[in-house]
Amino acid sequence: MRKTKEIMRLKYEGGLSYRQIARACSVSPATVSDCLGRVAAAGLSWPLPADVDEAQLEARLYHTPGEPAAADATEPDWAYVHRELRRKHVTRMLLWQEYKAAHPEGYQYSWFCERYEHWRGHLDVVMRQSHTLGERVFVDWAGDTTPVVDAASGEISPAYLFLGVLGASNYTYAEVSFSLALPAFLGAHVRMLSWYGGVPELIVCDNTKTGVARPCYFEPDINPAYLDLARHYGCAVLPARVRKPRDKAKVEVGVLVAERWILAAIRNRTFFSLGELSLAVREQLVLLNERSFQKMPGSRWQLFTSEEQPTLRPLPLFPYVFGRRRRARVHPDGHVELAGHYYSVPYGLVREEVELLYTDSTLEVFHRGVRVAAHALSPAKGRATTCPEHLPPGQRAYAEWTPERFISWAEKTGPATAEVVRAILAGRSHPALGFRSCMGVLHLGDRFGQERLEAAARRALHLRSYSYRSLANTLEHHLEEQPLPEAVPTPEPLFHENLRGPDYFKS
Tell me the pLDDT tens digit for each residue of 486-505: 655 555 655 556 656 566 55
Number of independent structural domains in the chain: 5
Using the 3D structure, point to which of 275, 290, 311 is the last residue of a domain: 311
Residue 493 phi, psi (nearest 5) = -65, 145
Q: Phi then psi for 453, rounded to 5 degrees?
A: -65, -40
65 — pLDDT class (breaks 50, 70, 90) = very low
Distance (Å, whole) CA 213 – CA 210:
7
| pLDDT given for residue 132 in this prediction | 77
| 286: CATH | 3.30.420.10
Same domain, 148 and 279: yes
Question: Is beta strand 353-358 parallel, antiparallel or unpaired with respect to 324-329?
Answer: antiparallel
What pLDDT score does 259 carry? 85
The confidence score (pLDDT) of residue 277 equals: 94
pTM above 0.95, yes or no: no
- The reply to whether 434 falls in a domain is yes
The residue from 12, 38, 62 where one domain ends is: 62
Q: 300 and 162 in one domain? A: yes
One domain, residues 303 and 414: no
Are both 256 and 345 inside the same structural domain? no
Long-range contacts of 481-486 (CB under 8 A, 24+ apart): 481/455, 484/458, 484/459
Are the C-beta atoms of residues 285 and 195 closer than 8 Å to each other? no
Tell me: do 293 and 148 sit in the same domain.
yes
Residues in the chain, how many?
A: 507
- Average pLDDT in the 80-107 region? 79
Distances in whole angstroms, Cα of residue 49 to Cα of each of 46, 372, 437: 8, 18, 51
Residue 193 has pLDDT above 60, yes or no: yes
Q: 462 pLDDT exceeds 90?
A: no
Q: Which residues contact 42 (CB under 8 A, 6 or more apart)?
A: 60, 61, 64
Of residues 333, 349, 325, the one with CA closest to residue 386: 333
490 within a domain of the structure (yes/no): no
429 and 373 share one domain: no
Based on the domain organization, do 231 and 333 belong to the same domain? no
Claim to verify: residue 285 and residue 373 sit in the same structural domain: no
Q: Which domain holds residue 224?
A: 136-311
pLDDT score of 368 more than 60: yes
Would you state the pLDDT for residue 247?
54
Q: Within a domain: residue 297?
A: yes
State the pLDDT confidence band at 69, using cuts at 50, 70 and 90.
very low
Q: Checking DSSP bridges between strand 172-177 and strand 156-166, what pairing results, if any?
A: antiparallel
* Residue type for position 81: V
116 and 254 in a single domain? The answer is: no
Q: Are residues 153 and 10 in the same domain?
A: no
How many Å apart are CA 380 and CA 365, to the nearest integer?
19
Domain presence at residue 352: yes
Q: Are 290 and 309 contacting, i.e. CB atoms less than 8 angstroms apart?
A: no
Residue 46 lies in a domain: yes
Measure the CA–CA gap between 249 and 240, rounded to whole angstroms: 10
When pLDDT is averaged across residues 346-353 and rounded to a whole number, the result is: 88
Q: Which of 311, 343, 358 is the last residue of a domain?
A: 311
Residue 68 pLDDT exceeds 50 = no
* 103 touches 73 (CB < 8 A): yes
Say which range, 19-33, 134-148, 395-409, has the weakest mean pLDDT. 395-409
User: Is residue 110, in this structure, part of any structural domain at all?
Assistant: yes
Residues 52 and 84 in one domain: no
Written as one string, the DSSP assignment of 203-231 is EEE---TTTEEE--SS--EE-HHHHHHHH
Rounded Cα distance between 462 and 34, Å, is 83
Let me know if residue 384 belongs to a domain: yes
Is residue 497 domain-resident? no
Helix (H) or strand (E) holding 164: strand 156-166
Q: What's the rounded Cα separation, in Å, for the pair 264 and 281? A: 11
Same domain? For 163 and 222 the reply is yes
Beta bridge pairs of residue 202: 136, 236
